[in-house]
Amino acid sequence: MIIFPAIDIIGGQCVRLVRGDYATASKVAEDPLETAKQFEAAGAKWIHMVDLDGAKAGHPVNTAIYERIAKETALKVEVGGGIRTLETVGEYLSLGIARVILGSAALKNPQLVTDAIERFGSDKIVVGIDAKDEMVATEGWLETSSVHYIALAKEMIARGVTTFIFTDISRDGTLSGVNVQQLRALAEATAGQCNIVASGGVHTLDDIIACRELGLYGTICGKSLYQGTLDLHEAIEAADTLRIRPMTMDDYDAAYALWLACGNGLNNVDDSREGIARYLARNPDTTFVAEENGVLAGVILCGHDGRRGFIQHMAVAPQFRRRGIGARLVSRALEALRAQQITKVALVAFKKNAGGNAFWEQQGFTVRDDLNYRNLALVEMIRHDPDYVQ
C-alpha cells in the first residue's frame, strides 16, 4: 500500500483545513518544496497535492509550486484542484506531474474523464470522490449533490477509471480516524475493478494498518504528519504489503493472464506451461513474482548461462502500475544473479516498446540496436552499473 503525504496549498502556503472549511485554514509548514524534500527523505515515493485556490476558482492557481516539486525532487506528484479541462490535464502532465485528480469534473462533466483517459491513459488520471453523508460533494466541497459515492465510482469504472481517492469530508482534518465502514463498502462494491486510496481522518498507525487490511491501494496522510501523531517512515514500513518471492508453477495461470493483460508478445513454446516449467527448472532461484495482498502483481523471468545473466521479460499488472513494483522486481533479480557470481546481465525487449525501454534505461541499462532475436525487432540492453560490467 502506498502512503501519500499531503500538501494543500492556499496562497502559496502549506495549509490544512478541517472538514473542507476554508475558514479553518491553518498554516502547517513554511515551504512546500522543503516539506516535500522532508517527505522524500523519510522514504515517500509519492506526494499528494491539492490546489485549494484552484478548487474554489475552477482553474489552476498554484501550478508553479507543483512543477518545482516535480522537477526538484524524485517524488511522483499527483495534483488536484481546479482541473476542469483536457488542456489543463495535458499542461500538468507536460510539467512532469505524474497524474492528475479530477474531482468536480467527474460529476459535472463525465465526458472529460472519458476523454482524458483515452488521450493520456488511465494511469495518469485519478478521480477524487469526496462525500458528505455518503453523497458526493463538488466545487472545493462547497456544494453537495444527490449522487451516492458508490454510484459515482461504478459510473467512473465504466468510463475506464482505475484509481479513486475517497474522502469522507466529515473526518478530513479531524484526526478522528478513517471511515472504515464506507471504505469497506466501496472496496466490496468495486472488488477487483479499481484501486482505492483512503483520505480523511488518518490519525495514528492504527489507521494505516486498518487501510492495509482492507487491501487498499493507498492512504493519504496530512494533518497527522504535521502534528506528529503519525511518523511517515513508520507508516511507509507498516503499509508495505508487497511480497516478492521465487516463481513456481502454481503461479502459471495468474502469470499468463497478467502477460495477456500487459500485451506481452507470447509464443506457444517458451511461454506455454511446459515451456515455463522447463525455464523454472533451469532458473529456480532467479525468477520472481510480486504479490500484493495475495494477488499476483508482477513477474520477472530472469536466468543465466553461467557467464551472463539475462532478463527474459518483466511485467506488472495494469492496476499495480506506478508503484515501483517493476523496479523492485529488477532489483531482486539482479541481487539473485550477484549471489550466483553473475556480474553481467542483458535484457531482450521489444524495440517498438518506447515506454518499456524508457523504464529499462532508468534502471541503468543502455540500448544496443545490433541484436535481432527470432526475427523480431528487438534490442539488447547491457547494464553498466559498476557491479555488472565484467
Separation of alpha carbons 165 and 17, rounded Å: 17
The three cell numbers of residue 314 are 518483466
Separation of alpha carbons 333 and 286, rounded Å: 6
Is residue 152 classed exposed, middle or buried when 0-12, 13-18 and 19+ CB atoms within 10 A define those classes? buried
**Strand-pair category, 163-168 with 125-132:** parallel
Concatenated DSSP letters for 7-52?
A: EEEETTEEEEEETTEEEEEEEEES-HHHHHHHHHHTT-SEEEEEEH
Residue of 8, 168, 172, 251 marked catalytic: 8
Decide: 309 and 303 in contact? Cβ < 8 Å: yes
Q: Please, which contacts does 71-75 make with residues 24 or more away whose CB atoms are closer than 8 Å?
A: 71/95, 71/96, 72/33, 72/37, 73/33, 73/36, 73/37, 73/40, 73/47, 74/40, 75/36, 75/39, 75/40, 75/44, 75/45, 75/46, 75/47
Q: 199 forms bridges with which residues in the sheet?
A: 167
The verdict on whether 251 is a catalytic residue reads no
Residue of 51, 53, 130, 168 marked catalytic: 130
Number of H helices, E strands in the chain: 15, 19
60 HSE (CA, 13 A, CB side): 21
The verdict on whether 123 is a catalytic residue reads no
Concatenated DSSP letters for 202-241?
A: --SHHHHHHHHHTT-SEEEE-HHHHHTSS-HHHHHHHH--
CA angle 213, 218, 223 (to 5 degrees): 105
Q: How far is CA 161 from CA 98, 134, 168, in A?
A: 16, 20, 20
Q: In degrees to the nearest 10, what's the CA dihedral of 192, 97, 76, 8?
A: -90
Q: How many residues does the chain have?
A: 390
Which residues, at least 6 apart from 159, have a Cβ–Cβ distance to it below 8 Å? 110, 113, 114, 117
Annotated catalytic sites, by residue? 8, 130
